[in-house]
Chain A
Amino acid sequence: MALRKPPLYDVYAADASFTDFGGWEMPVEFDSIRAEHAAVRESVGIFDVSHMGEIVVRGSDGTALMQRLTSNDVTRLSPGESQYSTITDESGIIIDDTIVYRLPGEGDAEYLFVPNAGHDEEIHRRWVDHRDEWGLDADVDNETEAWAMVAVQGPDAESTVAKTTETDVASLSKGDVVDADVAGADSLVARTGYTGEDGFEILCSTEDAEAVWTAFADDCTPCGLGSRDTLRTEMGYLLSGQDFDSEDEPRTPYEAGIGWTVALDTEFVGRDALAEIEAEGVAETFVGLVLRERGIARHGYDIVADGEVVGHVTSGTMSPTLGEAIALGYVPTSLSEPGTELSVVVRDREKRAEIVSTPFIEDH
């Protein structure tokens, strides 16, 4: 199957190296992951995240459909607000995580939500099938191919975005979304991101993507998925398909440490199973680890306690901020307290590691 290319591909193709991510050919690195990471922590960087899906739900039963297919409570959203949520199956296993935006405007609530790369078709089908089964009045459109999305992230993001639009972006609270003209393009500007820094995600039509990207070219360091991964790992944020995956790493929101996205007082697919799990407690828990010996823990490496394999690493890297090897993974809940000493097996050798609380970096 041919890889999908983001609309900005030709704009930066000569400046980046690429990787297949979720079926998309995406820039993994422009100059250096370390330099891109530092730009986002210290000033501002821009990412093309057009591989993320966009599904739009409109109509009189739009809220009911969203409420029954996502774990969080969408009725808490006013127009122009967003929430982090999960999409679970009947047994409470996470199919995907997502940001649900309730779009600005009066009348019937309209939602745009963002499934992860490569999940858009599956999730769209899920929404359409359930709508039909439940006889709800809602339009569900997979608009992934129509939208481009860039993320402007870092402590200087606010002043940088403010230069490109008349709209008052400074007054947006975290999670807010507004309609705005950005560099001449009709856009949605949301104060969201995946880096742990202040920042904005800007959605515009694919035709306008180059104008928007170019408007930030002078002020922002272009960043690829490599630094996006190190930034989110330092925050302990989950990566869909890696830290949870309905087939390879089936996990509930409670195991994955995001039980706060589960509104048990709402009715949604997976709710009853999750209510039981919440009452019983989970056997395994998502934790952060720091290696205390030289080495790097990577996805799939075993976690060992007293010579027994007790868990595994789902994400791991060298933290550019800390200069330490950090990892995320699942361990028995009884071994999940910060300070617990374990080992990670790196190429057949046990390396001492310690459970730490996340985020790994301070002041975030």
Chain B
Amino acid sequence: MFEVPEDRKYLESHEYATTDGETATIGITDFAQDELGDVVFVELPEVGDEITQHEEFGVVESIKAVSDLYAPISGTVTAVNEALFDQPELVNEDPYGEGWLLEVEVADASEFDDLLGPEEYREQTE
């Protein structure tokens, strides 16, 4: 069973966004990191860049695959997890914690309504 925390919402393409305020933390799910296998590289936008819901914002590469990342929510990037540049394996080890990707200032909180809840997402991965 893959971990699906209750305190966030999800995209069908396996990205999550936290929902507890004006900023959201974005990452990929436990299911996604398991499917990818050993993550060896992430390519992310920079602080100040805009990302748009459902559009590509970066790339995560494992040894065996290259995967585009899609934004669960629109906003302005306020922080990038630079630890991943040296330790991309944090995405595998702790996808919801130390393996986070971006923090954004949420542009439009109503976009959360378009995302899957934990239960819906869990069903998708079973």
Contact = CB atoms under 8 A, between A and B. Distances in A.
A266 to B, nearest CB: 40
B37 interface: yes
B66 A226 contact: no
B41 A295 contact: yes
A357 interface: no
Contacts of A317: 63
Interface string B55-97: 0000101111010000000000000000001000000000000
Contact of A29 (B37, B43, B61): B37
Contacts of A230: 63
A364 to B, nearest CB: 20
- Provide the main secondary structure of the chain B interface: strand
Contacts of B85: 294
Given A34-B63, A317-B63, A296 B37 contact: no
B64 A318 contact: no
A34 B38 contact: yes
Contact of B64 (A28, A325, A347): A28
A231 B62 CA distance: 16
Interface residues of A, number: 16
A320 interface: yes
B28 interface: no
Nearest to B38: A34
A298 interface: yes
Contacts of A325: 41
Contacts of A34: 38, 63
Contacts of A32: 37-38
A32 B64 CA distance: 11
Contacts of B64: 28-29, 33, 226
A20 B103 CA distance: 38
Contacts of A295: 41, 43
Nearest to A346: B43
Contacts of B41: 294-296, 318, 325
A282 B59 CA distance: 37
B26 interface: no
A141 B11 CA distance: 53
A296 B62 CA distance: 10
B40 interface: yes
B38 A33 contact: yes
Nearest to A317: B63
B43 to A, nearest CB: 8
B61 A296 contact: yes
A32 B85 CA distance: 20
A298 B38 contact: no
Given A33-B64, A296-B61, A226 B37 contact: yes
B81 to A, nearest CB: 14
A320 B59 contact: no
A118 B37 CA distance: 26
Given A28-B64, A295-B43, 19 more contacts: A29-B37, A32-B38, A33-B37, A33-B62, A33-B64, A226-B37, A226-B64, A294-B85, A295-B41, A296-B41, A296-B66, A298-B66, A317-B63, A318-B40, A320-B38, A320-B63, A325-B41, A347-B43, A347-B59
24 contacts: A29-B37, A32-B37, A32-B38, A33-B37, A33-B62, A33-B63, A33-B64, A34-B38, A226-B37, A226-B63, A226-B64, A230-B63, A294-B85, A295-B43, A296-B40, A296-B66, A298-B66, A317-B63, A318-B40, A318-B41, A318-B61, A318-B63, A320-B63, A347-B59
Interface of A: 28-29, 32-34, 226, 230, 294-296, 298, 317-318, 320, 325, 347
Closest 9 CB pairs of A and B: A318-B40, A34-B38, A33-B63, A226-B64, A296-B41, A33-B38, A296-B61, A32-B38, A29-B37
